[in-house]
Structure 1
Amino acid sequence: MTYDTIINGGRWFDGTGSASSIRNLGITDGVVVEISSGPLEAGPDTEVVDARGQWVVPGMVDIHTHYDIEVLDGPGLPESVRHGVTTIMIGSCSLSTVHLDAVDAGDIFGRVEAIPRQHVIDAVTEHQTWASAAQYVDALERLPLGPNLAAFIGHSDMRAATMGLDRATRPDQRPSAAEQSRMESMLTEALDAGFLGMSSQQLLFDKLDGEVCRSRTLPSTYARARELRRLNSILRRRARVLQSGPDITHPQSLVSQALSSLGVGRPQLKTSLLSAADIKAIPAVIHGMGPLARAINKLGGDFRWQHLPVPFEVYADGIDLVIFEEFGSGAAALHLADAVARDELLRDEDYRRQFRKEYEAKWGPRVWHRDFFDAEIVECPDASIIGKSFGAVGQERGGVHPVDAFLDLVLEHGTAIRWRTTISNHRPELLKKIAVEPGVQLGFSDAGAHLRNMAFYNMGLRFLRHAHDAELAGTAFMTMEHAVHRLTGELADWYGVDAGHLRVGDRADLVILDPAHLDSDLDDYHESPVEQFGGLSRMVNRNDACVSRVMISGRTVVESGEPTALLGAERTGSFLRVGQRVAPRPAPRSGPRPGPLTETGDERAVATAT
């Protein structure tokens, strides 16, 4: 047999959780065609990769991103791919761009996901040639996709496109019978096009951008039970997924959404809910999440929590951080786009009094722990306060209240003062317990969003480090095979897409990583300008020594931690339709490299999964 690539001597994981072993892999035309304990014979044109001492694992699956905008102008998505992610799911949190026009997309994505609103408008205006879900998929497949994509259709997208953004965000408005029918048709069309399901949102501190509807919550939050039941019934019949976020201010909504997964006298509803987190502000709640999921699934549901398996550390420039949206005075400041008006508000004593009151109200559901002593200043024109907390600065200034110290510094330095805090997942022992919960999925990276606030692009590598460190210390909480499975095949199988495995006959989407470099470099802070966002500097991860190679469809898109010229220039990834196997995109055999490929890719759905 002639091979395009041979990978020799690596510790091979197949993504199913089965035992790993030292193997040699042969790849031809983008497919794994041989896995052998013995040597494979190289031909004259075979690339031979020495993987001795390294792990060869399936490409990781990221189940929760907001790359819907970035993929249009930067389809290589290198920040995820360089860390071993080869399959990316878009359309999370009720947000997608299947039916919205450009301005409404800017209003919905801009503030909620901290993506520059004008860029959203420009990108959708330039690329939007679609008027249906199937046409949207065709448009994606005309791009030089780096990773594979799978998609949810967003409820806010459908609702705003059907009712108009203004009516869709008014509490006294309901969709007419014709509008409800139109949303149901949109959902059905998306499922027919191979979408994963629908994402919705009940979380009330996701606020709109723009002028007309500014500071209203997302359209999906205004839907009543009947509207959602009718949409969910379509998902039930088609065995597709509902991804949602509950209203944490009303914990009963969380339990209600979890229970809706049950199929009592009807099909079960596959439900993926945000999120299992060890929240500093409510430390007891995490202990009930695993038992709740196990109980629902034992009763016949198909329910999963999404979980970020690393500390949830966030950064902020001044007051620009989504956690302030969860209480009135914080949201009031973020409502004001004009810097002069915002500064005037921050000086107002009545406003400060209200902020202090809400800061000190420690009871009740919340995400932020509201402790300015647990908020470290990391950048500031005044170097004397770097490394200190806002609370400590207040003490040094004569016992100033932490809120006043924070607001004073924001007034002094604006967005030039940068600070950080960890809001959840701060206890390593609890992270170990969450990691083995069968009702928990590892995900929720939010990749592509909150560009100045967080960077979890390498969360999979950091999770593998956590498991590997425990194994080396003799305190293993799971096998490495199980850890790899949780990031790969387990996710792909549950969502029904062709990814996450590395066996004979599978597409050669794989990562070669050096376990010796699963180290502290994975935690380091870096920034990098994003050309398609006007040079905005975003938080990124840089641990290039860890990832030796990433291959998608058997073609090398990352080498020694760095994206190759291929990534984003030629198409290696595909749109993954639920229940369909996808043939790989083999490399050209001879002649010059082709430019971006343009066929729709429907011909690559070669078989239907049973």
Structure 2
Amino acid sequence: MMQDARFDLIIRNGLVFDGMGNPGQRRHVGIRDGRVAALSELPLTEAGAEVIDAQGQWVMPGMLDMHTHYDAELVAAPALRESVKHGVTTVAVGSCSISMMLSEPEDCSDLFTRVESVPRDQVLPLLEKHKTWDSPHGYVDFLRQHPLGPNVCAFLGHSDLRVRTLGLSRSVRRGLKPTREELATMTQHLESALDAGMMGLSGMTNPWDKLDGDRERSASLPAAYAPWSEIRHLNRTLRRRGRVLQSAPNLVTKLNAILFGIASAGWFIRRPLKTTLITMMAVKGQEALPKLVGFLSNVFNRLFRADFRWESLPTQFEVFSDGIDLVIFEEFGAGEAVLHLVDELERNELMRDPDYRRRFRKDYEKRFGARVWHRDLGDATIVDAPDRNLVGKSFVDVARERGVHEVDAFLDLVVEHGQKLRWHTVIGNYKPQQIREIVNQPSTLLAFNDSGAHIRNMAFYNSQLRFLKFVRDEAEAGRPVMPLEKAIWKLTGELADWFDIDAGRLHVGARADVAVINPEGLGEQLAQFDEAKIENLDLKRLVNRSDHAVTATIINGRVAFRQGQFVPELGRDTVFGTFLPAGARGVAGPSARTEASTAYEANVAASA
């Protein structure tokens, strides 16, 4: 017997996972008015409904990508197709202290473009043309009127906050402490952002991330100059409001990760501060570190009532580079010196200089101290070059052929071919056992795709699908990683619950954000890379392949992607994604404004 009701969309015959960790059940899903209206063992009346037959497929909540740098791209190309095609229905922006909420377009561009490896000549004109807001509520109004593809949630960036309050030059002045009045202004901005529905504050204490532009070029991001007293002051607001601090430790010393842990702790006398840092990864040469860090984090959370998490990537971390344009070279002085130069002729002159080469070699051969890159040019393979004889060789292979040191071989090739020299290496997570250990740590969140950033260097837009493939393949091989329902929970409900947004679940009454996954399509092509143009921008980027892994992506009850095709309305109509406020699970709209925030908004309006 069919259930007698009318639906806009029916997904029939699928194995349905609820995103809460329960085993999948054979169900028919009925969707009406953007919500899940029925989960039935019996067939549903199909009259007038669009129908997706999910026989043999997984029906699950749309996946969440909680660490992206889509901030600029969503202005120009709000469909965010590269995520939607992989079953992602919610993305988070404003990570790593870089939001585009408060500051002027040029400031936002200088904060964003060098760090995230997106060309400034594309981002700055875009923001100058389209950025009409200068407050959190203005940003939310923009998002709600914008034809978003996936849903968007956001952080306020600490660098954005500092620049708006102190000005760009003062925000990167070493040793400068904000005045009491300036701290009060920062707090007002933060309160307003939380009232507007931001998930919290994103910070950055790692000094390797640098400013672009010509005003304060190569200064670290402003958040890296913030004294701990300033961070502690802002944390009080986050703790009181139950929101999140996202940040990165200082990778030079790593010691301030301890301070973040202490800040998160409730000590049984106060509310824990939700804190998440990037990133837990098995970097080559430091393979045992994730296991130790994970163990200590879990013990600390239990003993001191903390809520401290590490963001992690559930797949191999591999990168590509065009010449020397890769953020890993910001780790040491010689690399930073060449990336400081914009002009290619000036760069080449520096890289030819014998003294510079000695400095580069000294940095390269330094075996102790902070690093992410393994600094092994023998573990870096050339994948493209004008000289086709180079393809497939490492820089050590080339050095042996030429009878020179590997650093000289690398710098010679960069001078010879510039950005036409393309090479590849694996930074971390290169063994399945390492990934297994990381994803099973209670203190990890699967939330480090970095989507929209480093557009020529890496692509993890489909890391969620790769993780599902890994879980399925290991189970079939008799080496189970975790139950499939737990893996789906980690990609959906766990993230939605921890960040406190209305997403990640599939039950009657839930938002109808759904992914239909074909397990037979989870093949080796998921690890392949391709290049594609970014919609509405004169840019190409590295992308992932998915082919037939995702049968359909449904956002707000509407099919956005199906059988390899995007619907024409995606990115044009405001019927798909929307801004999802934090702290409002199941509630449409931001929480009530505080008195201070209301006054702040009035001041912004008056000054405008």
Question: Normalising TM by the smaller chain, what interval?
Answer: over 0.9
Among 453, 458, 480, the alignment partner of 1:454 is 458
Q: Provide the residue aligned with 2:348 in structure 1.
A: 343
Equivalence for 1:317: 322
Map of 1:303-452 to 2, 5 A cutoff? 303-398=308-403, 400-452=404-456
CA drift of 1:542 comes to 2.1
Q: Determine the structure 1 residue equivalent to 2:595.
A: none
Preserved contact between residue 550 and residue 559 of structure 1 (Cα < 8 Å): yes
Deviation readout 1:118-141 (Å, 9 max, x if unpaired)? 222222222222231111100111
Measured in 1, the distance between the counterparts of 2:190 and 2:308 equals 21
Describe how 1:123-522 pairs up with structure 2 within 5 A: 123-264=126-267, 265-298=269-302, 299-398=304-403, 400-522=404-526
Shift, 1:166, TM fit = 0.7
Q: Report deviation, 1:531.
A: 4.1
1:71 partnered with 2:44: no
Indicate if the aligned counterparts of 2:584 and 2:591 stay in contact, CA closer than 8 A.
no
Alpha-carbon distance, 1:582 to partner: 5.0
Asked whether the equivalents of residues 30 and 554 of structure 1 are also in contact (C-alpha less than 8 Å), the reply is yes
- Structure 1 range deviating more: 280-289 or 133-142: 280-289
Q: Deviations over 1:134-165 (max 9, x none)?
A: 11100111100111111000000010111111
Q: Is the 8 A contact 1:105 1:120 kept in 2?
A: no
Counterpart CA distance in 2 for 1:375 and 1:321 is: 13
Instruction: Tell me the equivalent position of 2:597.
Output: none
What is the rounded CA distance, in whole Å, between the counterparts of 1:604 and 1:328 in structure 2? 46
* Identical aligned residues as a percent: 48
Deviations 1:404-437 (A, max 9, x none): 0000001111100100101111111121111111
> In 2, are the aligned partners of 1:321 and 1:453 still within 8 Å (CA)?
yes
CA distance in 2, matches of 1:604, 1:465: 39
Equivalent pair of 1:137/1:575 in contact (CA under 8 Å) = yes
Instruction: Quickly say closer, same or farther: Cα 1:163–1:14, change in 2 above 3 A.
Output: same
Deviates more, 1:132-141 or 1:254-263: 254-263
Question: 1:314 aligns to what SS in structure 2?
Answer: strand
Partner Cα separation in structure 2 for residue 579 and residue 358 of structure 1: 46
CA contact (8 A) 1:162 1:179 kept: yes
Alpha-carbon contact 1:62-1:87 (below 8 Å) kept:
yes
Whole-angstrom distance in 2 between the partners of 1:33 and 1:301: 38
What's the TM-score once normalised by structure 2's chain length? 0.94
Q: CA deviation at 1:529?
A: 1.5
Task: Find out whether 1:121 has 2:120 as its counterpart.
Answer: no
SS class of match (1:32): strand
Alignment partner of 2:92 out of 89, 92, 98: 89
CA contact (8 A) 1:30 1:555 kept: yes
Match in the other structure for 1:102: 105
1:524 aligned onto 2:536: no
Paired amino acid for 2:349: E
Aligned equivalents of 1:549, 1:271: Cα separation in 2: 34
Cα distance in 2, alignment partners of residues 199 and 215 from structure 1:
21
Q: Is the 8 A contact 1:470 1:477 kept in 2?
A: yes
Distance 2:243 2:172 in 1: 26
SS at 2:264's partner residue?
coil
What is the CA distance between 1:604 and its match in structure 2? 12
Query: Using the alignment, how far apart are the partners of 1:391 and 1:36 within structure 2?
Result: 61
Task: Give the whole-Å Cα distance in 1 for the aligned partners of 2:536 and 2:211.
Answer: 22
**What count of residue pairs does the alignment treat as equivalent?**
585
Instruction: Return the alpha-carbon distance in structure 2 between the equivalents of residues 436 and 379 of structure 1.
Output: 37
User: Could you tell me how far 1:284 is from its partner in structure 2?
Assistant: 2.5
**Partner residue of 2:600?**
none
Give the Cα separation in 2 of the matches to 1:517 and 1:573: 26
Asked whether the 8 Å contact 1:108–1:208 carries over to 2, the reply is yes
Query: Displacement of 1:471 after TM fit?
Result: 1.2
Amino acid at match of 2:504: G
Local SS of the residue matching 1:80: helix
- 1:281 is displaced (CA, Å) by 3.3
Provide the alpha-carbon RMSD of the alignment.
1.4
Q: 2 CA distance for matches of 1:182 and 1:561?
A: 48
- Within 1, Cα distance between the matches of 2:6 and 2:289? 56
1:40 paired to 2:39: no
CA deviations 1:351-400 (Å, max 9, x no partner) are 000111111111122100000000000000111110110111101112x1
Any idea what SS the aligned residue of 1:140 has?
helix
Distance between the aligned counterparts of 2:590 and 2:154, measured in 1? 19
Shift of 1:603: 9.4
Quote the Cα distance in structure 2 between the aligned partners of 1:291 and 1:604.
36
Note if contact 2:525-2:547 (Cα within 8 Å) is conserved in structure 1. no
Length-normalised TM-score, structure 1: 0.94
560, 573, 576: which one aligns with 1:570: 573
